[in-house]
């Protein structure tokens, strides 16, 4: 009788397949595709269009899926999320309060010190040029923060007592 192959420790053959690195990469893109298809109404069309604009504005943006299926776009940190509700598609910018918004796109979550959001409703026109500028500004802000963090000198390790 042939031996049954053993499962890897801690792995179950019945466990659901998760996207690599907590929802990043190709698997995350497929999950976002599936979410867009599942909406099958103006929200799916709007989310797909916003996603296209993000990719045009920030080539190489990383797609992730977090928080029970929320699409997330990252570049040196989270740029924004794309949430869908019954009456709106919401783009929440993780560091929106630090971004210039000369076109006044932010119309939601204005009270906080960090995030800002844009609620889009059925039939609303999207200022594509301004939105792309906002996507680029978010990526530039993340790049700047990453560079500043890298440039900070590290504190010396405490000396051990002899």
Q: What's 80-104 look like in SS3?
A: EEEEECCCCEEEEECCHHHCCCCCC
pLDDT digits (tens, 9 = 90+) for 94-137: 999 999 999 999 999 998 899 999 999 999 999 999 999 999 99
Chain-centre distance of CA 49, in angstroms?
15
pLDDT digits (tens, 9 = 90+) for 1-43: 444 433 333 333 333 333 344 444 558 888 888 898 889 899 9
What's the Rg (C-alpha) of the chain? 20
CA-to-CA distance for 114 and 99, rounded, in angstroms? 10
Residue 117 contacts residue 108 (beta carbons within 8 Å): yes
How confident is residue 162, by pLDDT bands cut at 50, 70 and 90?
low
DSSP category for residue 4: P
Determine the pLDDT at residue 4: 40
Determine the pLDDT at residue 150: 81
């Amino acid at each position: 009788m042939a031996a049954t192959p053993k499962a890897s420790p801690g792995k179950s053959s019945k466990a659901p397949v998760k996207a690599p690195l907590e929802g990043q990469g190709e698997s995350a893109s497929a999950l976002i595709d599936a979410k867009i298809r599942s909406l099958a109404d103006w929200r799916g069309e709007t989310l797909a269009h916003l996603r296209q604009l993000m990719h045009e504005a920030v080539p190489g943006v990383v797609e992730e899926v977090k928080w029970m299926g929320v699409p997330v776009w990252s570049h040196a940190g989270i740029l924004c999320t794309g949430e869908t509700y019954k009456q709106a598609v919401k783009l929440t910018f993780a560091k929106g309060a630090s971004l210039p918004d000369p076109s006044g796109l932010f119309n939601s979550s204005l009270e906080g010190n960090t995030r800002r959001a844009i609620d889009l409703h059925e039939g609303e026109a999207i200022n594509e040029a301004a939105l792309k500028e906002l996507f680029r500004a978010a990526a530039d802000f993340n790049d700047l923060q990453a560079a500043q963090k890298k440039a900070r000198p590290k504190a010396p390790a405490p000396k051990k007592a002899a």
